[in-house]
Amino acid sequence: MGNEFWQWDLVQTAGYFSVVILCLVLFLTIFEFVTKYKNWEEIKKGNMAVAMATGGKIFGIANIFSHSIAQHNSFVDIIGWGFFGFFLLLISYFIYEFLTPRFKIDEEIAADNRAVGFISLVISVGLSFVIGAGIS
């Protein structure tokens, strides 16, 4: 019964969902540590720039995992490639900060600069497709 249980599509999907939710919470916690603002406090206040940047991160992480799930069969491989993809997404955040020396990304997003928040969203989403293609 062991192998038959995991081959059942509904159980696999629930397993993938559970793993991705746990990883998403972990990754968003890591992003919370590297940014100077508190994501959920700012979103609660109506800061659209933070909402866009955070939404882009959520979409990016989910997209990376969708590619990982589509390509790999074992939970270990899925999680491993998901972590690697997240690491690349995190690196892209620091590259974005480095490539904009005239202003601080975190300060602009915290100040509800929606243009900066939107670019942050597009970078996270766009690079998640590139990372996902690399995983596939």
pTM listed for this prediction: 0.87
Q: How far apart are the first and last CA of the chain?
A: 31
Whole-number pLDDT of residue 5: 61
Residue 67 CB contacts under 8 Å (≥ 6 apart), including other chains? 81, 85, 131, 132, 133, 135, 136
| Total number of residues shown for the chain | 136
Consecutive sets of 10 residues in the chain, 136 residues long: mean pLDDT of each? 66 88 94 91 97 96 94 88 94 90 92 96 96 91
d(CA 135, CA 114): 31
Residue 65 CB contacts under 8 Å (≥ 6 apart), including other chains? 16, 20, 23, 78, 82, 85
